[in-house]
Amino acid sequence: MTGDSNETTVAITGSTAPGQYDWTKIVDDLNRLLRLRTTPIGMKMFATVAEMEAVPKIRRPQSIHTMDQIVSMASRIGWTVGATNADFVGDQCGAVVGLKAPDEKWLSGERMSGVWFETLEDASAHQHAMHLVPFGQYEAVAVSPLTAGRLDPPDICMIYANPAQMILMINGLQWSGYKNFTWGCVGESACADSWGRALKLREPSVSLPCFAERRYGAVPDDELLMATPPEFVPKMIAGLEALSRNGLRYPIPAYGIQNDARAGLGYSYGG
């Protein structure tokens, strides 16, 4: 079982080929356009542990961690790290990335009842609402800075950004081939909204990092997370470039709450 979403599940492996992207240029472009302070990273699923351990310079956990910590070892420290379900403190982390079967005990939500949710029914509804990579396809996962090129291609790219940077990233994706993005929020276990959803549905996915991501993954108060298949990143950058040429760029300068807005609106909106 993978939750009660009616959205279509797409196979993780897409058409992206090794060497298709210049990751150094992509990250340089992101930093130039958005002034990111956190390292953009990739995540890749592996059918076997041996395949994961064959990644150059990969590190393996020496302690028990959350998936949030594993992700942040790449985004905050710059490490390439591989993990299996045995490396995680509980079933929640492994279930999201398809390394642990979401059995009936897990789906019951009993461990969250009375802590995160008032009733067992509420906790179970939360568990069923999460986006999960289907179990049985993978034995391991790895994360690494995109510029390292060690997961080429990654299954998804992950970009932490503040709200102003994030809305411009979304605007960049919407510049051509407009789509009204609709994302949910499961609350706690928000990794299901970001990397879980992006891996499962092969779509850009934005989340509000949850308590665990901030407590154990050291995600700052002002950062959101976009997880997206790599094929969307060049499209986003092209959109950001176009917006920048139109004067719509980061940082967004404050116009002044008491100024006459007509001149500014006429420049930015054509009004």
Nearest CA to 159 out of 247, 265, 35, 51 is that of 35
**Cα 249 to Cα 270: distance, rounded to the nearest angstrom:** 16
Q: What is the dihedral of CA 91, 92, 93, 99, to 10 degrees?
A: 50
Q: What is the predicted pLDDT for the residue at 3? A: 44
Q: In this structure, are residues 154 and 42 in contact, taking their beta carbons and an 8 Å threshold?
A: yes
Q: 191-210 pLDDT, tens per residue?
A: 999 999 999 999 999 999 99
142-187 pLDDT, tens per residue? Answer: 999 999 999 999 999 999 999 999 999 999 999 999 999 999 999 9
Cα separation, 188 vs 115, whole angstroms? 11
Ramachandran class of 242: left when φ > 0, alpha when ψ lies in -120 to 50, beta otherwise: alpha
Q: What is the mean pLDDT of residues 3-22?
A: 62
For residues 237 and 172, is the Cβ–Cβ distance under 8 A? yes
Q: How far apart are CA 116 and CA 237, in angstroms?
A: 38
CA 235 to chain centre: 17
Domain boundaries, the chain: 23-252
Identify the band that residue 4 occupies on the pLDDT scale cut at 50, 70 and 90: very low
What's the confidence (pLDDT) of residue 15?
52
Q: With CA atoms as reference, report the closest residue to 42 among 199, 190, 197, 211.
A: 199
Residue 14 has pLDDT above 60, yes or no: no
DSSP code, position 191:
G
pLDDT at 263: 85
- Residue where the block lists tokens 């470039």: 241
Per-residue confidence at 271, pLDDT binned at 50, 70, 90?
A: low
Mean residue pLDDT of the chain comes to 94
pLDDT exceeds 60 at position 40: yes
With 80 as the cut, is the pLDDT of residue 8 above it?
A: no
Q: What is the pLDDT of residue 81?
A: 98
